[in-house]
């Protein structure tokens, strides 16, 4: 089985968010997919299986399968549109979150995702203790989004992972208005065995709509301020959908033999 390592939301190797993309020719057991994801020890390993009208796509962290993953979807589209179907500029993925379409346009891989509904919740002492700084606002949907005063606070965070595990939401996000981008964010994921997701596409299904409302804009340029760093180009398109785009670069190709 061929496996590609792709850095997503970047044009430079060893930055952005790395994902493993495995191209399969038959269904694999859940146990095997979990074990290979654990062996890869990347935030996501994606599995592609060709179907009549696209590809079945599943995502696994080192700890569990997830319902939606932005950067591994971008990485998978990079593999399909550059190596499997280079004559195409659109790919369809059938996933646990429904049909996802990705289009390659002027060097960007543009994904159409659902906007996650969220509601404002009270800021708590537990949030302050976990992040090390008290948020000014907090919102809860699939993920927790905590808003802070400035981007330097977000960039400098060294949060308490145990404390984050006790907070609501699948992923605990910290965000602030940016200076060089519309917003700056970080995504911490101890509940899925990831201390920090370097660049989290799905988290921006909540983060980007929040900043679009605050800034009065439909398009948001977002920077994920992890050690690796990465940029996401987001646009609210109506019908509760958001387009999230980014670049990608190939790092390695290999053969998985433990099947």
| Catalytic residue positions, numbered | 44
Q: Name the maximum alpha-carbon separation found in the chain.
A: 54
Helical spans, DSSP H, in 41-183: 70-79, 125-131, 151-155, 161-165
Tokens for 218, please give them: 């439909």
Output the CA torsion sign for 197, 227, 177, 175. Answer: positive
Residue 186: C-alpha distances to residues 166, 173, 183, 254 (Å):
18, 6, 10, 30
Distance CA 234, CA 256 (A): 34
Within 10 angstroms of residue 96's Cβ, the number of other Cβ atoms is 11
The first and second tokens of residue 228, run together, are: 């690796």
Would you say 248 and 109 are in contact if contact means Cβ atoms under 8 Å apart? Answer: yes
Distance (Å, whole) CA 76 – CA 248: 10
Handedness of CA 145, 146, 151, 154 (dihedral sign): negative
């Amino acid at each position: 089985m061929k496996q590609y390592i792709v850095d997503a939301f970047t044009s430079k190797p060893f930055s952005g968010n790395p994902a493993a993309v495995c191209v399969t020719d038959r269904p694999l057991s859940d146990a095997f997919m979990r074990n290979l994801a654990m062996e890869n020890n990347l935030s996501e390993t994606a599995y592609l299986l060709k179907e009549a009208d696209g590809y079945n796509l599943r995502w696994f962290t080192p700890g569990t399968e997830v319902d939606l993953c932005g950067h591994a979807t971008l990485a998978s589209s990079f593999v399909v549109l550059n190596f499997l179907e280079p004559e195409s500029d659109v790919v369809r993925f059938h996933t646990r979150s429904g049909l996802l379409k990705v289009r390659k346009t002027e060097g960007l891989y543009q994904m159409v995702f659902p906007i996650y509904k969220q509601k404002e919740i009270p800021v708590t002492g537990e949030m302050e203790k976990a992040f090390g700084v008290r948020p000014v606002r907090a919102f809860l949907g699939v993920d927790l989004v905590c808003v802070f005063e400035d981007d330097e606070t977000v960039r400098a965070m060294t949060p308490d992972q145990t404390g984050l595990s006790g907070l609501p939401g699948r992923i605990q996000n910290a965000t602030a208005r940016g200076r060089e981008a519309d917003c700056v964010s970080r995504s911490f994921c101890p509940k899925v065995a990831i201390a920090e997701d370097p660049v989290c596409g799905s988290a921006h299904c909540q983060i980007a709509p929040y900043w679009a409302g605050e800034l009065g804009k439909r398009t948001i340029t977002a920077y994920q301020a992890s050690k690796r760093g990465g940029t996401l180009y987001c646009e609210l398109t109506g019908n509760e959908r958001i387009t999230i785009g980014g670049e990608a670069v190939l790092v390695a190709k290999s053969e998985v033999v433990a099947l």
